[in-house]
Amino acid sequence: VRDCIQKTLTEWSSKISQDQNQETLEVLECTVAQAIEKINPEERDELKVSAKLFIVGSNSSSIGSNSSSIRDAVDLACSALGVAQLDSIIIAPPPVEDGINLSLEYLQPYWKELENLVQNKKIVAIGTSDLDKTQLEQLYLWAQVKPSSNQVNLASCCVMPPDLTAFAKECDIQLLTHNDPKELLCEASFQEVLQESIQNVKANKWIPLWLLRYSVIVKSRGIIKSKGYIIQAKRNAS
């Protein structure tokens, strides 16, 4: 992720004029057009577009920003790939403080916005990551749009927990595995990359909000046609 961000920022900053690269800007849209492959509408039915959304660090404690973060992430992914909707999206639980269990109340604002996006036909299926049997059951019973999948971290278990397996089978939830680190991108790491890539930027003013990883898969062959990351950060005015 770090390498991708660094390469994009370095290439982007080398192409813009210096007057555009001032700290007065609150939004910097850093894209390298040739790095993104838009989907040909004629091929859309043959492709599956899936994504995993990571809410980053300090943003996770701000309930008001949750829904807009999820909406922005889905809109930007659809726009970048030239599609009207994503086939599936998995949300990684936002980081919680050590010793605190992830509660249903903490997940609800995120899930409500995902449900809105399903109802507005921006997403087909929604899933979760790293929920144990109790957490998954609580979410399933409360949710209007049920989770279609739950990812389990390979590092935390070599064998799927039997209670989770039984519950998932009973409720037709697909259990998947992943090996993403607990924190895919921390604030300090992002600021470091920013400092190295763009001249005269006050990196410590920029806070990452979310990171979305997308994959475009050819359904018939199960191969990845393209993949990439989209990240959003905001400039702290203080």
Of 5-9, 72-76, 85-89, 134-138, minimum mean pLDDT range: 5-9
Q: Exposed, middle or buried: residue 18 (CB in 10 Å: 0-12, 13-18, 19+)?
A: exposed
pLDDT the model gives residue 52? 96
pTM of full prediction above 0.75: yes
pLDDT the model gives residue 3? 79
pLDDT tens digits, one per residue of 18-42: 545 445 556 566 766 666 788 999 9
pLDDT tens digits, one per residue of 50-94: 999 998 865 454 444 566 889 999 999 999 999 999 999 999 977
Enter the DSSP assignment of 126: E
74: Cα separation from own chain's centroid: 9
103 — pLDDT class (breaks 50, 70, 90): confident
Q: Is 53 helix (H, G, I), strand (E, B) or coil?
A: strand
Instruction: Give dist(CA 137, CA 104) in Å, integer.
Output: 10
Instruction: Give dist(CA 122, CA 153) in Å, integer.
Output: 27
pLDDT the model gives residue 9? 81
pLDDT tens digits, one per residue of 196-233: 777 767 778 888 888 999 999 999 998 999 998 888 88
Q: Which helix (H) or strand (E) holds 6?
A: helix 2-15
| Concatenated DSSP letters of 151-178 | EEETTT-SS--HHHHHHHHHTT-EEEEE
